[in-house]
Amino acid sequence: MNILVILKETFDTEEKITIQNGQISEDGVEFVINPYDEYAVEEAIKLKEEFGGEVIVVTVGPSRVESALRTALAMGADNAVIVDDESLSVDEFTISQVLAAIARKQSFDIILAGNMSVDNGAGQVGPRLAEELKIPHVTTITNLSIKDTKATVIRDVEGDSEVIEISLPFLATAQQGLNEPRYPSLPGIMKAKKKLIERLSAEDLGLNPSDLKAKTQIIDQYLPPKKEAGRILSGELDGQIKELVHLLRTEAKVV
């Protein structure tokens, strides 16, 4: 069974976000595998251990993403592909088109991705990729089992669950609870240093960057305003209620 895993590198979730001139500063920031993508990597490795085959992790991004790919390789993935091309725009449309071009050059039974990235939370790349490849897709899965050419998945639906049967090949996006990602072992880390990371450009994939212009544009970015200290009312209860209503009407302007 051959499995492609879509991977993104994001800020460590403990990092402090700072904005400079409308852009998120990356100075001194530690990057990690997007947490939801870790579930996808782990599930792919589990499937390989059960059925055999190969796991290939793919990403679009700058050269620093190699560290995240090496982590996935140390976990047990076999090979990795990175598209590092400054001529490409970066939004969900562009990335899904690039990933589709990679997928068409591979033989795969399943594509796994994270449900969303923790930096922008769009959750678009996986479904967009599946639509581009014209294969079925299931989002937010918390369980996956395969028999012959059919898969049974359980997906999270707003606090409940839904069971779906789907034919291979298909794409699924991983939700928290699907598994517990393993830590790379020391032998795995040593082996990962020798594993192949294929580096491609848009030209290598037969793509014209001018045809892949971003469909969205970020106009500005800013941090939310700091919360002001709350106010504690004192006095008799009737008086507090009257003051509260007055403040809600005159200051908060919500009534």
Q: Where are the domains of the chain?
A: 2-212, 225-255
How many CA atoms, within 13 angstroms, populate the side-chain half-sphere of residue 79? 11
Q: What is the pTM of this model?
A: 0.85
Strand, helix or coil for residue 36: helix
How many residues does the structure list for the chain?
A: 255
Per-residue pLDDT of the chain (255 residues; tens, 9 = 90+): 999 999 999 888 888 888 888 788 888 888 899 999 999 999 999 999 999 999 999 999 988 899 999 999 999 999 999 999 888 888 899 999 999 999 999 999 999 999 999 988 889 999 999 999 999 999 999 999 999 999 999 999 988 999 999 999 999 999 999 999 999 999 999 999 989 899 999 999 999 988 888 888 888 888 888 887 888 888 899 989 999 999 889 887 887
- For the sheet with 150-157, list strands across it: 160-167, 150-157, 137-147, 170-174, 110-114, 2-6, 54-60, 79-83, 197-200
CATH class of the domain comprising 2-212: alpha beta
Supply the pLDDT for residue 171: 97
d(CA 92, CA 122): 8
Supply the pLDDT for residue 200: 93
Supply the pLDDT for residue 21: 81
Asked if residue 79 lies in contact with residue 200, where contact means CB atoms within 8 angstroms, the answer is: no
Supply the pLDDT for residue 17: 84
